[in-house]
Amino acid sequence: MSLKYQWHLREQPEDTQVKNLAHETGLSTLVTQILVQRGLKTPQQVHSFLQPQIADLHDPYLLHDMDIAVERLTQAIFAGEKILIYGDYDADGITSAAILREAIMILGGQVTVFIPDRFVDGYGPNQKRYEQFVQEGYQLIVTVDNGVTGLEEIQYAQEHKVDVIITDHHTLPPKLPLATAIVHPQYPGSNYPCPDLSGAGVAFKVASALLDEPPEELLDLAAIGTVADMVELKEENRVLVTWGLKQIQNEPRLGIEQLCKQAHIKLADFDEETIGFQIAPRLNALGRMDDATKGVELLTTSDLEKAKHLAQEIDKLNQQRKDITAEVFNDAYIKAQEQIKAGNQLLIIAGENWHRGVLGIVAGKIVDLTNHPTVILDILEDGLAVGSGRSNGNFDLYQALAVNRKLYQNFGGHAQACGVTLAASDLEQWRQQINVLPTVKSLDTSKKTSRLYDLNLSVSQINLQLLEQLQQLAPFGQGNPLPIIKIDQFDSFQAEYLGKKTQNHVKIKLRQQQQYLDIIAFGWGQQLNQIQEFGISAVYGSLRQNKWRKQIQVQLNLQDVEEQVLSTDEAQSRLVDLRQTHNINVQLQQAQNLVFFHQHNFQKIQDKYPQLNCVLASDLNTNLKKVSLVDRPPSLNVFEQFVKQNQHLERIELIFHTYYPAYYQLNLTPQVWHRCLKYFLNHKNLTIKNLASVAKFLKLSNLEIKFVLKVFSELNFVKIENGFLINPEKIPQQQLVDSKTYCQIRDLAAVQTTLIDSHFDEIIKYTNTI
């Protein structure tokens, strides 16, 4: 396993400069060092950064056309005109619309919010929708988080006597719409002091001008939009997020409070990461899965029951989005591996009935895992393929795809993210044409993106005091990232899946003498086997606080792992624990020399994946050095025999998967068998139809009662004739071990206990005794 990134220590400032500034500010040298690295070199700059105030917000009228926009909005509000807010379907667009709606409502305006449908309307102004709004009698349209690309749409509205005010922050095109006003922080020649405002930030500035002061009750919405859109958390943005977070912690609006309850978030712990990883994904899920207008309703409602209902609905949609993402990813990742093996550098992966709302997420995941630029497409019934592409910073995906423009019905995006529509029948031709382009053929997927880390520490240096010092730099985000720490001084490590329900995340524990550090690796489930195989020499990540049962501990959120260089002896004497593999299909694609104990499992996988090397345990070739034990042995005797006969193996991966785990967990005690036999002997005229009630009385599952009955039938303790259970006149003198089924159950239970439920160390000890 290699590093995901190429890591470099951030340039270190001079000791004298750090010490002098630390003395002047009263901060620790460690915090001061990071502040200097981020360009803050005077006590005034440091104070302004660490103590941002609402008074630091700039005059909103410094924004281009703000005076015109406010005058036209005020006129519309007091004249009772029909006003429409045209938003966007992501978290920034939703919060932008909510901010402006609230400000207009405060002044008594008649306002309606429209959020476009991702799949029907697309991003930004839509001609048919503008025609609809003109027909419906709207007199003023205000765009939020979009609008600068709506040349024809806005011209149409203006020609039909509907004024349009654009409030946006996206890249300005060469030709701008002839709108009534364009409020944009990067408008040419305007020189606004904070040019990196989000859509919500721009909407907040409009609200501030409209209400003659910064509306503090809307800071929470501005904070969510600002963090969600990943603009730089400097200057004015830092003020919005700092004070917005305080408002959410102390006086949360109903919608946010209910959404936090659904996500099991404590308001006292609400921070910028809560927005980035919990709130924004839920709001974004609306635009991917349903109607994003519900997000505006949630954030602006004063009805508790409505807030509860909407929060529950949004939470369910987010879970659906996760489930669908996982389902599409599992299929797409297998196809990605096949294309990589075929020599493709740019992966073009298509499938039917793949939800279009998650294609970009899936493409991003595959880029993270393979380092190959990737396009994921859904093949529609009308013969079109619609997809999203992602790339990392080392490859311009937009320029590569733009070469084949003639094939596309729709195409757009930028260097790292693109959208494309073309005929499904052209996919194979397109894939071949793209992968022979010089820029694609010369793509070096082994080249890693460069990243910087701030500190190099040992496990013994990590403590709560250090974390509290670093937290002074919060809120973190673009332009002010969480300090990244490299830890390469520790004695040992353990790695396992985090939690039993899913195997998406990994927990690593580092030990240095008597001190331990927990590392949480979110989304690293598929790399656990590699971590266990190659070991760890260093980890990179950010420190976070973990509260559990009123105890506070420091943990590291993992960003990267540097593998350990092992000696030949160490590498050749290892079992590898892959028993908790979450997705068996993905795991099989990564494994080598698949070994099966059961013929039906062997045949099933061989038929499904003919390209994989599958072999029965009884037919194992002694030339093989590395194998993966896919299914569970039928008994410990069979496993022991396999180990004895294959001492030549240098690496044995233990997967031990089964499609029927319940059979392995049938571990009935002698008392249960005795109670069951007594029951059957004392009850006559029982029928097969009675088994469910019998099982309930005996406190057994339906599967357990069926196996009990099968064992008793084999031993002639009962007979089944015409659906009735018949007791014999004389009970045969037989033991339970005389039943083939009983022996199978006993052996499977022993496999479960010894090879599945046990700790990996116990398996190693067990195999050493064989």
Angle between helices 304-341 and 280-289 (to 10 degrees): 80
583 pLDDT band, cuts 50/70/90, is low
Q: What is the mean pLDDT of residues 33-59?
A: 94
pLDDT of residue 569: 42
Across residues 677-686, what is the average pLDDT? 84
Half-sphere exposure at residue 567, Cβ-oriented, CA atoms within 13 angstroms: 3
Name the DSSP class of 618: G
- Nearest of 573, 595, 601, 587 to residue 639 by alpha carbon: 595
CATH of domain 57-317: 3.90.1640.30
- Strand-pairing partners, residue 376, are 349, 388
CA pair distance 417, 199, nearest whole angstrom: 19
Q: Are 363 and 372 spatial neighbours (Cβ–Cβ below 8 Å)?
A: no
Domain 343-447 adopts which CATH fold?
Answer: Diaminopimelate Epimerase; Chain A, domain 1 (3.10.310)
Residue type at position 441: K
The pLDDT > 70 percentage for the chain reads 96
Of 178-192, 294-308, 409-423, minimum mean pLDDT range: 409-423
Instruction: Mean pLDDT check: name the lowest of 40-54, 264-278, 409-423, 680-694.
Output: 680-694
pLDDT at 53 over 80: yes
Q: State yes or no: pLDDT of 581 exceeds 70.
A: no
pLDDT digits (tens, 9 = 90+) for 324-378: 999 999 999 999 999 999 999 999 999 999 999 999 999 999 998 899 999 999 9
Element (H, E) at 571: helix 568-571
Residue 536's pLDDT band (cuts 50, 70, 90): confident
Residue type, 500: K
Q: Which of 383, 379, 282, 292 is nearest to 328 (CA)?
A: 379
pLDDT tier for residue 610 given thresholds of 50, 70 and 90: confident
**Same CATH fold assignment for domains 57-317 and 664-751:** no
More confident residue, 178 or 657: 178
735 pLDDT more than 80: yes
| pLDDT given at position 195 | 96
Confidence band (pLDDT; 50, 70, 90) for 105?
Answer: very high
Asked whether the beta carbons of 639 and 763 are under 8 A apart, the reply is no
DSSP state of 358: G
Q: What is the CATH number of domain 574-657?
A: 3.40.1010
So what's the pLDDT on residue 335? 94
Cα separation of 283 and 292, whole Å? Answer: 7
Tell me what pLDDT residue 741 has.
Answer: 87
pLDDT of residue 659: 65
Whose tokens are 């049938």? That residue is 666
Inform me whether the pLDDT recorded for 1 exceeds 80.
no
Compute the radius of gyration of the chain from its Cα atoms: 32
Provide the pLDDT confidence category of residue 576 given band limits of 50, 70 and 90.
confident
- Cis peptide bond prior to 475, omega within 30° of 0: yes
Domain boundaries, the chain: 5-47, 57-317, 343-447, 574-657, 664-751
Per-residue tokens: 336: 């990605």
Q: Is the pLDDT confidence value at 665 over 70?
A: no
What is the pTM for the complete model shown? 0.70
User: Among 173-187, 271-285, 307-321, 658-672, which stretch is predicted with the lowest mean pLDDT?
Assistant: 658-672
Residue 467: CB atoms within 10 A of its CB come to 16
Q: What is the CATH number of domain 664-751?
A: 1.10.10
Range with top average pLDDT, 604-608, 620-624, 657-661, 668-672: 604-608
Separation of first and last alpha carbons in the chain:
31
What pLDDT is attached to residue 664? 61
Of 134, 202, 120, 210, residue with least CA distance to 166: 202
Is residue 347 helix, strand or coil? strand
Average pLDDT, the chain: 90
Tell me: pLDDT of 3 over 90.
no
pLDDT at 408 over 80: yes
Partnered with residue 83 across adjacent β-strands are 111, 140
Paired with 111 in beta bridges are 83
